[in-house]
Amino acid sequence: MVEKIETNEMYRLYNPRSGEHFYTSSAYERDVLVRRGPWKYEGVAWNAPLESEYPVYRMYSPKSKAHHYTMDENERDVLCGMDKYKGRGKGWNYEGIGWYSAIDANEYSGPY
């Protein structure tokens, strides 16, 4: 028997001005961005587990007005100036865990 896990729909939005794709599990955030523009809703990109041991960290750069997502804690810490890099960040603001992955990115060997 296959174990069924609870998931979040991950919404994909596109900004035609910047060329950025943005991902969120929040219907409220999706709706606010679309209402304010210029974001366009592109649909559900995938379903992410509600919880797992593989968090995906979300960051925002006020300078480039872009989001960045990573599962690498060290990359997060360097970009955001956290922990041992405190005060030496690269201009990114840490926004928290964006979602959880079903797999460990370090062990993934499939197509990207």
CA distance 96 to 57: 6
Q: Give pLDDT, residue 84.
A: 86
One-character DSSP codes across 78-112: HHHT-GGGTT---SPEEEEEEEE-SS-GGG--S--
Q: Could you tell me the mean pLDDT of each successive run of 10 residues in the chain, 112 residues long?
A: 86 96 97 97 97 96 94 95 88 96 76 58
Which residues, in sequence order, are bridge partners of residue 57?
70, 97
Mean pLDDT for all residues in the chain? 92
Q: Give pLDDT, residue 109.
A: 65
Q: Give pLDDT, residue 112.
A: 55
